[in-house]
Structure 1
Amino acid sequence: MSESLTEQIKKSARELGFELVGIAPAISPVSLPHFESWVEAGYAGDMKYIPGRREAYQHPRHILPVVRSVIMTAMCYDPQRNVKQNESRIGQIARYARGEKDYHDVMKVSLKTLAQQIHEEVPDSKTRAVVDTTPLLERDFAQQAGLGWFGKNTMLLNKSIGSYFFLGALLTDVELTPDEPHNTSHCGTCTICLDACPTDAFVQPYILNATRCISYYTIEMRDQSIPEEIRPGLKDWMFGCDICQEVCPWNRKAPPTREEKFESQTDLPDAIEFLTMSPETFKAKFRGTPLERTGRNALARNAAIVIGNSGSRATVQLLIEALQDESPLVREAVVWALGKLGNAKIKADLQSQLSDEKEELVVNQLKTSISQLDRNSYEIDSEAV
């Protein structure tokens, strides 16, 4: 196809709100060997859908059999540093999830509009819009399309907009003129993103061990207890984590989002609200947002851990009330938080809970927290002497 059609598609993409657009050839991902090694090392953790679709990742034709070109796009989300309304607020949500709508839905609408415009120019063309949920190594194709380079934190970086952006792809059977790959890294000797990670999730530059990543535990691990060794590292992150992006020098001048559905909401719940929110309220409030997928119980579990990390003893009574939560996952995290924040005075509450509790997960944590309170009481008494 002509050069003019390629440029026309890029112009249309920008008019639809995409900050970046580029064309990659429909080839096997350049980083496929790296991806295969990452999976073999077990760094995907319990995300079974990744190794389960390994063959599909090998070529975009497994997504669109007749594919010839991959149109890669990027759309910025809100880089606003903080949505805390006051200093007493406990808990943070990753920037990408602070908008009112799920990025998958928003970007797919724009990509499908772009696809329709291609159909108008090439009536028999075939396309498929892809946003995150399909086995396509999007960052690889984005690099091949010239959108940016891989940072040491594994994020795609762009000189103009940093890394606070979503990627979307439009696969097509139309032969378009590919862009030059962005093969040059601009990270130099900087390792600030690696050094800042509180859970040491980076094995080395460019390799993330998901089983030590805050985002993995607070978003992907929805039906299990978060390992105790990881919990302090969550700090105040209830959903996702932005630390390795916050410290990146390339994000200092990240532009604001142009998509109003991605603008940070100012009334997002804090940890206390998430912990006390009913499943019905959660479903109604977060339907159609990134938080919906993780679900109320996992968010309440995360909230309890964050409260435990906060050091706020003003939350102890609320935690005691949350011992009656219907979810064992939540109760276990609440008991852990009480072990961190409580004192000998609430030992009776935990012992009472122990006599009634049937779930082994919670029973084990109750015993641990009661022992911890005993140790804390002994240490205080020893200091007094």
Structure 2
Amino acid sequence: MTLLADKIKSAALNLGYEKCGIIKISDIDGYKERLDERVERVPESKGFYQGQYRFTQLQETYPWAKSIVICVRRYGKYHIPEHLKGMIAKYYLVDARKDKNSKDFQDSVKFEEYMQELGLRAETERGFGLVPLRFAAMKAGLGIVRKNNFFYTENGSSVYLDAWLIDKELEAVEIPNVRPCSDKCNLCMKACPSASLSKPYTMNPIACVSCITTFMGRDMINEKYREEIGNWVYGCDACQDACPMNKNRWQETEEFPNLQELSEHISLEKIIKMDYKFLEEVMQPKFWYIDKSSVWKWKVNAINVMVNDYKEQYKEHILYACNDSNPKVREMAEWAIEKLNLK
């Protein structure tokens, strides 16, 4: 490891990252083959994965870039409000990628500034990233990808991945000290409510509950996996919660900024009655996989959960939704009334 690479890695660890590695940009070359394999296994996923192919042309898109700095940060340390467990996936509740109030976000900015102070050109995208994050982290030897497709370190899969392109060729690669999945284990696949995980290391995003409840699923009434969504309003933790390698890894020792206050505004009933200003100005910046023009989806998803696990107390809220200002919500509420025979 060069002195410069050592400085970068030390700075990352000092700022709270669990791990940091550096790979040459050419190390991503095998990513296209992985994508092609995924599409071949699940042909209906081709449209979903189309956007991922942008990562196969990094050297053309960023001709100045020479290496990738990839960091791992643990988020499985935050307190999760009990009533939101099984309703909103934990990752999204403590997502720091765009949350400027979060120390995780602030440390990410400090780390980037540090690299720039070293004279490097360092660029990132604090959303879905400029590089294939899990693939890059695996190439850097920071951990492994398990059968459920999530990236794991010794602390399990409750980790963020941050990556920067830099304009100097450096390398800092580790050997992962993580036990691989047992050949006999299929607990993540058994736990997947929609059988999106049909085989190890294979995922059908069209069937994935997390995908459907966030950036997909715009026609919930006719959604093939509507019932399999169960009680999830946003995201899904099923395959990660079932994984033995995550057992006892999450320890709620810290509070994520503003999460407790926000959680007091969230329940199935409260979502139905949320005004659109609150959805657009408070919920959307926090849960940004649903864009501003689609915040009505929160109400549709909540109604779907009410139907999947109906309780008498939901009736008045479903009836209330029949007068919502958005036609998608009204349509879903009217469908629920007929489905549940609430007339």
Judge same fold: TM > 0.5, yes or no.
yes
The structure 2 residue matched to 1:178, chosen from 172, 176, 179, is 172
What is the letter of the counterpart of residue 321 of structure 1?
Y
* Equivalent residues, number: 333
* Structure with max Cα Rg: 1
The structure 2 residue matched to 1:165, chosen from 134, 144, 159, is 159
1:334 paired with 2:339, answer no
TM-superposed CA distance for 1:244, in Å, is: 0.5
The structure 2 residue matched to 1:83, chosen from 66, 81, 84, is 81
Q: Which residue of 2 aligns with 1:115?
A: 112
**Structure 2 gap ranges (5+):** none
1:217 paired with 2:186, answer no
1:230 paired with 2:229, answer no
Q: Which residue of 1 aligns with 2:56?
A: 58
- Give the direction of change, closer, same or farther, for the CA distance of 1:91–1:3 in structure 2 (3 Å limit): closer
* Separation in 2, partners of 1:69, 1:51: 24
The structure 2 residue matched to 1:152, chosen from 120, 124, 147, is 147
Q: What secondary structure sits across from 1:200 in the alignment? A: coil
Indicate conservation of the 8 Å contact 1:149/1:184, yes or no: yes
- Give the direction of change, closer, same or farther, for the CA distance of 1:90–1:229 in structure 2 (3 Å limit): farther
What is the letter of the counterpart of residue 195 of structure 2?
D
TM-superposed CA distance for 1:44, in Å, is: 3.6
TM-score normalised by L of structure 1:
0.77
TM-score normalised by L of structure 2:
0.85
Q: Which residue of 2 aligns with 1:37?
A: 37
What is the letter of the counterpart of residue 25 of structure 1?
K
Q: Which residue of 2 aligns with 1:303?
A: 302
Q: Which residue of 1 aligns with 2:324?
A: 325
What is the letter of the counterpart of residue 333 of structure 1?
M
* Separation in 2, partners of 1:289, 1:330: 21
- Give the direction of change, closer, same or farther, for the CA distance of 1:79–1:222 in structure 2 (3 Å limit): farther
Q: Percent identity?
A: 25
1:98 paired with 2:93, answer yes
Indicate conservation of the 8 Å contact 2:99/2:286, yes or no: no
Indicate conservation of the 8 Å contact 1:297/1:327, yes or no: yes
Q: What secondary structure sits across from 2:290 in the alignment? A: helix
Q: Which residue of 2 aligns with 1:208?
A: 203
**Structure 1 gap ranges (5+):** 347-385
C-alpha distance after superposition, 1:146-199 (max 9, x if no partner): 12111111101112x100111110111222233046497611121100111110
Q: What secondary structure sits across from 1:202 in the alignment? A: coil
- Give the direction of change, closer, same or farther, for the CA distance of 1:70–1:91 in structure 2 (3 Å limit): closer
Q: What secondary structure sits across from 2:214 in the alignment? A: helix
The structure 1 residue matched to 2:287, chosen from 279, 282, 290, is 290
Indicate conservation of the 8 Å contact 2:88/2:232, yes or no: yes
C-alpha distance after superposition, 1:292-343 (max 9, x if no partner): 7344201111000001112212211221121122223222322333344335
Q: What value does the CA root-mean-square deviation take over the aligned residues?
A: 2.9
Q: What secondary structure sits across from 2:285 in the alignment? A: coil
